[in-house]
Amino acid sequence: MTTRVQLRHLAHARSGDKGDTANVGVIAYSAQAYALLERELTAERVAEHFAGMIDGPVERFELHNLEALNFLLHGALGGGGTVSLMTDAQGKVYSTALLRAEIDVPADVLASLDTATGRAGR
Amino acid sequence: MSRRALRIACGQGFWGDRLDAPIEQVRRGPIDFLMLDYLAEVTMSILQKQKARDPSQGYARDFVPLLEEIFPDIVEKGIRVISNAGGVNIAGCREGLVEAARAAGVADRARIGTVTGDDILERLPDLIAAGHELANMDDGRPLSEVLDLVESANAYIGAAPIVEALARGADVIVTGRSTDTALTYAPMIHAFGWSWDDWDRIAHGIVAGHINECGAQASGGNCMIDWETIPDLADVGYPIVEATPEGPFVLTKHDGTGGRITPAIVKEQVLYEMGDPREYITPDGIADFTTIRLEADGPDRVRVHGVKGRPRTDMLKVSISYRAGFKAVGTLVYAWPDAVAKAQKADAVLRARLDRLGLSFDEIRTEYVGWNATHGPLAGPPPEDLPEVELRVAVKSAEKAPVERFTREIAPLILSGPPSVTGFAGGRPRVQDIVAYWPALIDRSAIEPGIEVEVVEA
């Protein structure tokens, strides 16, 4: 059995820019959540999520050591820097747009989050 | 070498960062080095423009009064300061610092070091003639296509000249486009005597520099995880790297300051502006961020170790900026009821006006702040009963005239467009120059012989 939840319940994130490319680093809240995201949050899935918002391809890199994924969203910033007409010309909040993605989460992964999202130990 | 950890504090994450952060770093606890990063890609072109208007300008002006303030502290405590505040006028910055040292009464006890040779704006025609294409790393175009429009050109240079200035006794070192990371790891190479091919240790320094260079973003600022419980951001402690001769380091902050340092927060900063994490390229080596190990080491302390490095490349990155037209942004606020519908109608009226005037633009972009400005189509349809929304229309063009005319078409909407409009007290939008970024690579051999280190008594 799975429950559909927004990515923001599985991970936190930070984004930034390099020219016209935005990067979104996604950091899982638990080892189980990381394993799930490694399987489900593919570059293809992220490209679909951002359909209509980015012109170029999506690349994904895994950082198993940090239980994190790094996505490069090419052509995401309307030219980037001062060329861009966007409010978010430097991709500072692209991270939050990705955290809207919905993921089907098995019960054991959900249980791992109940612990991981507790305040203690962070 | 001292066995005690070397404490390298960050005092500024960009030009415009909190003014008193470096003062707090110097006064609220022990540090050995203070690094301050003032330069972003677009900053260099702004500084070139300032220098063109006034030859005494072209550096991060805030740095000089800051040093006047902290000179007595750093001389007393033996803290050494490293900054890329020199921008495109390193000599001018040094003159300011000499005066500041005299005003602070420490002229006989302060040595100023400078690193020059990164600024290649004047050399571009010769470099191109000598076969350096300086092709755009994003699309491969040769620089010759935009050479007449170039405003600034600087090679990212590494730690070697900073280490030399430290060895020659400089207390304050001012550079131009040194890499942000080098400002943090140059003191490690100097103090620990690392060999220039000790790639793993240098890679630790690179990671330390990457975490340190954005100020409080590593210590609780702009942190997403548990943001609502992070204490006292009004007194956030900026990060401090405690470096060790073996390479592993601890990220911490002064006792009694606000903010928070945990592995999860440091992970956020590690991933900031990350490309391929397996190869974080600097002039002094390549760090593999997939090898970083992070763990808590007590309250507000995170230990970083295990970083693997690889040899440096033969190329240096060059940051070039060039004029690429004009843009302007107009905004108006529409109130409930039907705020979005009114703003959409105003956008349609505005676009019809631009058509009637025969104005054409390379791009017109409309956003509705409060509904879809940052999340675009992911925001879904506008929420019912939104209390207000800001219409934000931006245009750009290679020509200034249509952009200028656009700025005069916003205010008329107040009386001639849809109702319930406000928020125009700021006046007519400003026409802004677009300065585009041109990243390129160049052979080290074209840059490094021109790098000069000077150390003078204030």
In 3D, which of B325, B391, B329, B395 has the Cα closest to residue B360? B395
Same domain, yes or no, for B257 and B375?
Answer: no
- CB contact at 8 A, B68 and B104: yes
Q: Is the pLDDT of residue B193 over 80?
A: yes
- CB contact at 8 A, A6 and A98: no
Q: Is the pLDDT of residue B66 over 50?
A: yes
pLDDT value of residue A121: 36
pLDDT value of residue A122: 39
- CB contact at 8 A, B169 and B23: no
DSSP run (H or E) holding B49: helix B41-53
Model pLDDT for residues B126-183, shown as the tens digit of each residue: 999 999 999 999 999 999 999 999 999 999 999 999 999 999 999 999 999 999 999 9
Task: Report yes or no on B138 lying in a domain.
Answer: no
Q: How many domains does chain A have?
A: 1
Task: Report yes or no on A122 lying in a domain.
Answer: no
Task: Report yes or no on B130 lying in a domain.
Answer: no
Q: How far apart are CA A23 and CA A13, in angstroms?
A: 10
| pLDDT category of residue B2 using cuts at 50, 70 and 90 | very low
pLDDT value of residue A118: 45
Task: Report yes or no on A96 lying in a domain.
Answer: yes
Structure tokens at A72: 């490069």
Q: How many domains does chain B have?
A: 2
Q: How far apart are CA B97 and CA A10, in angstroms?
A: 50
Q: How far apart are CA A53 and CA A94, in angstroms?
A: 10
| From B242-246, B424-428, B449-453, the region with the lowest mean pLDDT | B424-428
Q: Is the pLDDT of residue B35 over 70?
A: yes
Residue A87 and residue B373: Cβ atoms within 8 Å? yes
Same domain, yes or no, for B179 and B289?
Answer: yes
Q: How far apart are CA B446 and CA B126, in angstroms?
A: 11
In degrees, to the nearest 5, what angle opens at C-alpha B220 toward C-alphas B217 and B225? 105
B274 touches chain A (CB under 8 A): yes
Same domain, yes or no, for B111 and B215?
Answer: yes
Residue B278 and residue A61: Cβ atoms within 8 Å? yes
- CB contact at 8 A, B36 and B97: no
Same domain, yes or no, for B167 and B309?
Answer: yes
CB neighbour burial string for B44-65, b if at least 16 within 10 angstroms, e if fewer: bbbbbbbbeeeeebbbbbbbbe
Mean pLDDT of B380-390: 95
What is the length of chain A? 122
Domain that holds residue A66: 2-79+89-112
pLDDT value of residue A120: 35
In degrees, to the nearest 5, what angle opens at C-alpha B230 toward C-alphas B229 and B232? 115
- CB contact at 8 A, B82 and B182: no
Average pLDDT of every residue of chain B: 96
Q: What is the dihedral of CA B15, B21, B22, B27, to 10 degrees?
A: 170
What is the length of chain B? 458
Q: How far apart are CA B53 and CA B61, in angstroms?
A: 15
Structure tokens at B15: 């030009």
Same domain, yes or no, for B302 and B383?
Answer: no
**Residues of chain A found within 8 Å of residue B229, distances taken between Cβ atoms:** 119
Q: How far is CA B444 from the centre of its chain?
A: 23
The sign one gets for the Cα dihedral B163, B167, B173, B176 is negative
Could you tell me whether strands B293-296 and B308-310 are parallel, antiparallel, or unpaired per DSSP bridges?
unpaired
| From A105-114, B32-41, B103-112, the region with the lowest mean pLDDT | A105-114
Q: Is the pLDDT of residue B254 over 70?
A: yes
pLDDT value of residue B1: 40
pLDDT beneath 50, residues of chain A? 118-122
Per-window interface: B 298-337 vs A, CB < 8 A: 306, 324, 327, 329
Helix (H, G, I), strand (E, B) or coil at A52: coil
Same domain, yes or no, for B65 and B198?
Answer: yes
- CB contact at 8 A, A22 and A73: yes
Q: Distances in Å between the alpha carbon of B428 and those of A82, A83, B166, B390?
A: 20, 21, 50, 16
Task: Report yes or no on B61 lying in a domain.
Answer: yes
Same domain, yes or no, for B199 and B286?
Answer: yes
Q: Distances in Å between the alpha carbon of B356 and those of B187, B291, B350, B409?
A: 62, 59, 10, 12
- What distance in Å separates residue B253's CA from the closest CA in chain A? 17
In 3D, which of B344, B352, B346, B357 has the Cα closest to residue B403? B357
Q: What is the dihedral of CA B65, B252, B184, B93, to 10 degrees?
A: 0
Q: Which CATH number does the domain housing residue A101 bear?
A: 3.30.70
pLDDT value of residue A115: 57
Phi then psi dihedrals of residue B420, to 5 deg: 65, 45
Q: Where are the beta strands (DSSP E) in B79-202?
A: 80-83, 111-116, 150-155, 172-175
Contacting B with CB below 8 Å, chain A residues are 12-14, 16-20, 23, 25, 27, 49-53, 61-66, 68, 70, 72, 78-83, 85-88, 93, 95-97, 100, 119, 122
Model pLDDT for residues B319-378, shown as the tens digit of each residue: 999 999 999 999 999 999 999 999 999 999 999 999 999 999 999 999 999 999 999 999
Which of B217, B274, B366 to mutate against chain A (most A CBs within 10 Å)?
A: B274
Q: Where are the beta strands (DSSP E) in B167-237?
A: 172-175
Mean pLDDT of B242-263: 98
Structure tokens at B181: 């990371």
Q: Which CATH number does the domain housing residue B340 bear?
A: 3.30.70
Task: Report yes or no on B18 lying in a domain.
Answer: yes
pLDDT value of residue A113: 87
Q: How far apart are CA B203 and CA B310, in angstroms?
A: 8
By the 10 Å C-beta count (0-12 exposed, 13-18 middle, 19+ buried), B2 is classed as: exposed
Phi then psi dihedrals of residue B240, to 5 deg: -135, 130
Q: Is the pLDDT of residue B396 over 80?
A: yes
Domain that holds residue B387: 325-433
Same domain, yes or no, for B195 and B106?
Answer: yes
| From B43-47, B244-248, B279-283, B286-290, the region with the lowest mean pLDDT | B43-47
